[in-house]
């Protein structure tokens, strides 16, 4: 991309943002301005705002502020081009605004002269210099005239034109061109008929120069009727750029329309990570898993699809283009979709959830105290907050998230979203915690079963439990230890300590997603069932066909209809079996992709009694291993230096020595 194009794009973007206004809803004006600052990528003091509706604090809830925000206009647009400076300098950052002006419009430029011989005579053009550039001298013109074989000129007229340097083409001689000495050109049309290159060949002394119309006519003579760039041809002729191919004609490629786009104004994905302080404690208040919205808040908007733009090649043939693909802005519960189906807003105050491409707003059910005899089992089509414990033998089920401030005892907790247990899980072999679409977070897990398609994150320890995660199992904290039980994850299992000096049986399985394996088994069972039906049907078909061939006279119309029905059923079964095969292969490929980098990481000590299985490879730990990461390579378990799950390498021994005085 040229400097001019880059600058033009940057200026357009700056103009758009400087004139754009956005409406923002937040709990305070400061909160609204922070959101607008992120959107515009400007500092708060560079923003102007106007209050549309002031917020109010009430007893049970607060009404939000609603403001309209824009950028304060600036006097000098070049001050906003730091990113362009970086792009032009390759990241050196040495290009200043003054230098940028010099690139856009050079301060000094030499003058120049051209001599052209046409049928009408000889023409001289002298262009004045810019700034401190050099002027054209009379000797320069004399040399050009001599080189071109021009002798019949008036010196006084030449001198006048040089001094005037008007930039216009002026007749200086009636000398006619010499025959067979004229300029010529080469043409080359691309295979797709979208570009015609021309190479100008200069005239010999006294020969006629080409004019724009000469080049255009030459292109038309080979069938080029569209996209001839007369301005560019004139530029190359005027500046005498010879023996350099250039695109003298270009077609217009078809431009497919841009697909419709859903622009979300709320989070559709969550990133979940522990934030540890210096003591290894985790602040669950900072997880920010629940996103609340208020009535009327804009949740999403649809940018309509754009129509395609037809193209045309050099020969004038139209080239079709596809219109942009349309998509639907789906309306979920608790939302309002505008009449033109392009804006989705919240209908109620509550938590916004994104599931299967649809936004919905769920109200939150809060239980102040324990789930127990007073509440009974709890089932809620939204999110649940429990300030106490979930007592033995009770069941909590939610379509959204579940957040428990106390402990989970011998009970069942199920959610479609995240499950957060701030104190921990004491299951006594019977607790089951399952999330179908979120993460499970707990202070500790003991004698429990936990299942999720995403991640399981634990602070203090996992003891004698069965965990199955479609993503990762991370035990990160001051006393992060996994002891006993079976831990399964598709991508990663990580802890500070795994096992114990007593060497209890601890199985770590990475690379196999239990839920996907279950789905594969279900499809394989259905495939086998349909294959058995097909085998039986084929036997019947063979019998009928043999009867038809050996005794056609006794093969009735009813027999023929039965044969046709069985043949149709055979094709349906064949298609169904093929569909099952495709589903099985898709699931296997997905599981292999997810588990391609499956690992087990131990930050401190891995004790004996631990078995590591990654894909189809197995490693039984007999002696203590420290500071290692395990992965599968060529069917074997390979040990590497410890790699931190967050992406960096960390040596726990350095952390252990902190604070010692040498």
Instruction: Give the pLDDT means over successive 10-residue stretches in the chain (662 positions).
Output: 46 55 80 82 78 66 77 52 49 48 65 89 91 89 87 85 90 89 93 95 91 94 95 91 93 94 89 59 52 86 95 95 94 94 90 88 86 86 89 90 95 94 94 94 96 93 95 89 95 94 94 81 91 90 87 86 89 92 88 79 94 91 92 89 72 41 33
pLDDT of residue 288: 56
The one-character DSSP state at 44 is G
Half-sphere exposure of residue 591: CA atoms within 13 angstroms, side-chain side: 21
pLDDT of residue 589: 84
Residues 83 and 125 in one domain: no
Residue 564, domain extent: 517-578
Domain-located, residue 405: no
Of 321, 294, 317, 316, the closest CA to residue 305 belongs to 321
CA distances from 448 to 376, 388, 420, 515 (A): 21, 19, 15, 18
Q: Tell if the pTM clears 0.85, that is, is over it.
A: no
Domain-located, residue 608: no
Domain-located, residue 215: yes
Report the relative pairing of strands 472-475 and 492-498 from DSSP bridges. parallel
Residues 158 and 191 in one domain: no
Yes or no: say if 20 and 32 are a contact pair by the CB < 8 Å rule: no
Yes or no: say if 215 and 185 are a contact pair by the CB < 8 Å rule: yes
Of 614, 610, 608, the closest CA to residue 640 belongs to 614
Domain-located, residue 145: yes
The three-class DSSP label of residue 227 is: coil
Burial of residue 368 (CB within 10 Å: 0-12, 13-18, 19+) is exposed
Domain-located, residue 647: no
E strands, 573-659, where?
599-606, 610-614, 617-620, 625-633, 636-641
Total domains in the fold of the chain: 4
Yes or no: say if 484 and 466 are a contact pair by the CB < 8 Å rule: no
pLDDT of residue 458: 95
Backbone φ and ψ of 274, nearest 5°: -75, 145
Residues 149 and 214 in one domain: no
Domain-located, residue 635: no
Residues 116 and 100 in one domain: no
Domain-located, residue 131: yes
Yes or no: say if 420 and 287 are a contact pair by the CB < 8 Å rule: yes
CA distances from 230 to 217, 416, 598 (A): 11, 65, 61
pLDDT of residue 399: 81
Last residue of a domain, one of 540, 559, 578: 578
Last residue of a domain, one of 195, 224, 250: 250
Report the distance separating Cα 458 and Cα 460, nearest Å. 6
Domain-located, residue 442: no
Report the distance separating Cα 213 and Cα 616, nearest Å. 74
Residues 21 and 98 in one domain: yes
């Amino acid at each position: 991309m040229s400097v001019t194009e880059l600058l033009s794009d940057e200026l357009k973007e700056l103009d758009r943002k400087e004139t754009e206004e956005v409406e923002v809803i937040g709990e305070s004006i400061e909160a609204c301005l922070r959101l607008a600052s992120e959107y515009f990528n400007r500092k708060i003091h560079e923003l102007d705002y106007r209050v549309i509706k002031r917020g109010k604090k009430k007893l049970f809830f607060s009404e939000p502020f609603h403001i309209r925000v824009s950028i304060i206009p600036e006097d000098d647009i070049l001050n906003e081009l730091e990113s362009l400076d970086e792009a032009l300098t390759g990241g050196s950052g040495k290009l200043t605004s003054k230098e940028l002006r010099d690139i856009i419009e050079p301060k000094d430029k030499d003058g120049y002269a051209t001599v052209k011989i046409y049928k009408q005579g000889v023409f001289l053009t002298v262009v004045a210099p810019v700034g401190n550039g050099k002027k054209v001298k009379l000797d320069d013109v004399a040399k050009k005239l001599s080189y071109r074989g021009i002798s019949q000129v008036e010196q006084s007229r030449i001198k006048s034109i040089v001094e005037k340097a008007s930039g216009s083409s002026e007749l200086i001689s009636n000398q006619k061109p010499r025959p067979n000495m004229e300029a010529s050109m080469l043409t080359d049309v691309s295979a797709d008929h979208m570009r015609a290159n021309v190479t100008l060949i200069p005239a010999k002394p006294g020969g006629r120069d080409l004019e724009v119309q000469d080049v255009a006519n030459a292109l038309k003579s080979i069938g080029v009727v569209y996209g001839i760039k007369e301005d560019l041809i004139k530029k190359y002729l005027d500046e005498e750029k010879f023996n350099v191919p250039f695109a003298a004609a270009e077609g217009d490629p078809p431009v497919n329309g841009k697909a419709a786009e859903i622009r979300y104004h709320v989070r559709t994905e969550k990133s979940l990570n522990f934030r540890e302080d210096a003591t290894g404690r985790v602040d669950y208040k900072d997880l920010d898993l629940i996103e609340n919205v208020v009535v009327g808040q804009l949740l999403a908007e649809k940018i309509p699809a754009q129509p395609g733009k037809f193209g045309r090649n050099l020969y004038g043939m139209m080239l079709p283009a596809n219109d942009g693909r349309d998509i639907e802005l789906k309306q979920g519960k608790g939302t309002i979709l505008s009449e033109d189906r392009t804006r989705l807003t919240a209908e109620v105050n509550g938590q916004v959830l994104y599931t299967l491409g649809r936004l919905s707003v769920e109200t939150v059910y809060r239980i102040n105290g324990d789930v127990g005899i007073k509440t009974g089992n709890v089932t809620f089509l939204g999110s649940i907050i429990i300030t106490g414990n979930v007592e033995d033998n009770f069941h909590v089920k939610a379509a959204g998230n579940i957040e428990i401030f106390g402990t989970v005892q011998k009970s069942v907790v199920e959610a479609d979203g995240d499950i957060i247990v701030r104190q921990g899980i004491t299951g006594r072999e019977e607790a089951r915690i399952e999330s179908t679409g979120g993460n499970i977070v707990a202070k500790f897990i003991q004698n429990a079963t936990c299942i999720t398609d995403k991640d399981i994150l634990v602070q203090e320890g996992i003891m004698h439990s069965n965990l199955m995660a479609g993503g990762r199992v991370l035990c990160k904290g001051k006393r992060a230890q996994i002891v006993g039980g079976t831990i399964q994850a598709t991508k990663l299992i990580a802890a500070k300590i795994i096992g114990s000096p007593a060497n209890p049986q601890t199985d770590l399985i990475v690379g196999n997603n239990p839920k996907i394996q279950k789905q594969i088994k279900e499809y394989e069972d259905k495939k086998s069932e349909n294959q058995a039906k097909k085998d039986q049907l084929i036997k019947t078909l063979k019998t009928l066909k043999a009867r038809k061939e050996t005794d056609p006279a006794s093969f009735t119309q009813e027999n023929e209809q039965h044969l046709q029905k069985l043949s149709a059923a055979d094709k349906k079964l064949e298609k169904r079996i093929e569909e099952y095969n495709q589903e099985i292969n898709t699931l296997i490929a997905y599981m292999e992709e997810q588990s391609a980098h499956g690992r087990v990481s131990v930050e401190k000590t891995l004790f004996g009694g631990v078995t590591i299985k990654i894909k189809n490879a197995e490693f039984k730990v007999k002696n203590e291993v420290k500071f290692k990461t395990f992965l599968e390579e060529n069917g074997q378990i390979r040990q590497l230096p410890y790699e931190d799950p967050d992406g960096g390498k960390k040596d726990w021994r350095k952390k252990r020595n902190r604070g010692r005085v040498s």
